[in-house]
Amino acid sequence: MRQHDASAIRSSARGRRRRRPLPAAPGAWAFTLIELMVIVAILSLLVSVLLPALGRAREEARRIKCLSNLRQMAIIAHEYVERNNGSFPPAYWEISTDASTKVRYEWDYKTTIAKGTGKVVSVEPGLLWEGLDVSSMQQCPSFAGVSNSLADPFTGYNYNISFIGHGQNETVKSPARLEDVMSPDHCALFGDGEYRSGANKFMRSPMPWSGDKFQNRSAGTQGFRHNGMTNVVFVDGHAASLSKRCTHTWSTAEEAQIAPACGFLDEDNSLYDLK
């Protein structure tokens, strides 16, 4: 009987020993609350440093995509010139088609409008595209605002109306010819259009001249939306990102209307004119 009791006691002792927690392995340690707080602070600091860098990287990708769009638009403009006896497309022209509608032909879109109500009946690719349905190329990837023509499905770029496109109600009506451009590498063709109220599709030089007496120059500025730069493609087909934002124009009242992050490419029309 005693032998049986002693065996039970030993078995019970072994069970109690198995239930004891194992000692920590040599070198093992656990985070204290202070250490966890330090780690969280370091991670927060890293996130605050990395997020702006990631944002700049995304904008850089959009800038490069925008430059590609503008280069392709310049290629299409030269194809238009070849098919139209050396002339660039007019910036805009409006005609009445019948008693009920009128059509506004613009370099980017052709818009049919109901007379009387002004309701947009249809929007199609414009003069530049000559029926090609590739006008999505006209969307700047960094522009999320509205166009000054609200029916336009894509927006963000403007066309040199001061010296290249001209138009029906401009001082000079007929568009320029390619042979008239003396310095194609210094004559802007298309760019990042933006002004106080959104996008604009007609690029204006900062100073009026005998061929463009339009007074409201601030409505034809460029948007410096790519990390402080604006994209432009020149008549020779090369595209560039420019950082110099000019806000000088013919009157102080017009200068006051230039929106933040908007401006001209220069102050003396030298990057717009045909010379």
Q: Model confidence over 80-109: pLDDT tens digits?
A: 999 999 999 999 999 998 889 999 999 999
- Give the C-alpha separation, 27 to 6, whole Å: 40
Task: Say if residue 3's pLDDT is above 80.
Answer: no
- Give the C-alpha separation, 267 to 188, whole Å: 14
Residue 57 binned pLDDT confidence (cut-offs 50, 70, 90) = confident
Indicate the SS3 state at residue 48: helix
CB 188 within 8 A of CB 272: yes
Which contiguous run of DSSP H or E holds residue 101?
A: strand 101-106
The per-residue pLDDT for 31 is: 66
Which residues, 6 or more positions from 31, have their beta carbon under 8 angstroms from its beta carbon? 39
User: What are the phi and psi torsion angles at 56 (to 5°)?
Assistant: -65, -35
Which residues, 6 or more positions from 191, have their beta carbon under 8 angstroms from its beta carbon? 70, 157, 158, 160, 203, 222, 230, 231, 232, 233, 265
CB 224 within 8 A of CB 230: yes
pLDDT in tens, 247-268: 999 999 999 999 999 999 999 9
pTM: 0.81
